[in-house]
Structure 1
Amino acid sequence: MHAQHAVDSTDPMYARTLGFCRMVLAQSQLLNGELEAVVTTASLAVDGGDSLQSSRFQRYVTDFQQEVNVHASNPAVAAFSETVRDAMARFDDEDEDE
């Protein structure tokens, strides 16, 4: 799978690139119905931190969250939505402090 290779070969010092690669991988996993893998991969992308400084990445994550929320009754998906909300709130708080 190309998306997994992209994640594996991206240097962690490039947090934004790694975040995007992980979100592409999560999208692929979603299309394959692998909800547990989706949540794990997308959560790693969101928790990457620096990626959230990009408005494009924020949009990508929120669009993805809306897509995955079709499965909101799944506890892992609900937890992911909470992770996204928390990460966005932390980023907003940091942004206000500057």
Structure 2
Amino acid sequence: MALAQSQLLNGELEAAVQTASLAVDGGDSLQSKRFQRYVTDFQAEVGGHMSNPIVAAFNDQVRDALARLEDDE
């Protein structure tokens, strides 16, 4: 998520979202409350780009991953 944040700060929106998607795909990382905070902070920062399909897909991915996590509990 640190790399995604850096890419976002450099104006590389699509690269940042792709990097964040790979981090979320890691699976177990979302079990960490700290990692969840990093993800939600990132989502807030890209929130101004909701019309971009890659951002919308990332938000769907996070929602689905969190739902699966809740189902496993």
TM over 0.5: yes
Higher relative contact order (CA 8 A, sep 6+): 2
Distance 2:11 2:64 in 1: 25
1:77 matched to 2:55? The reply is yes
| Structure 1 unmatched runs, 5+ | 1-22
1:47 matched to 2:25? The reply is yes
The CA RMSD measured in Å over matched residues stands at 0.8
Q: Deviations over 1:5-41 (max 9, x none)?
A: xxxxxxxxxxxxxxxxxx0000011111111101110
Q: Deviations over 1:18-76 (max 9, x none)?
A: xxxxx000001111111110111000000101111111111111111111111111111
Say which one has the larger Rg. 1
SS, match of residue 30 in structure 1: helix
Count of aligned pairs:
73
Q: Percent identity at matched positions?
A: 77
| Structure 2 unmatched runs, 5+ | none
Q: State TM-score, norm by structure 2.
A: 0.93
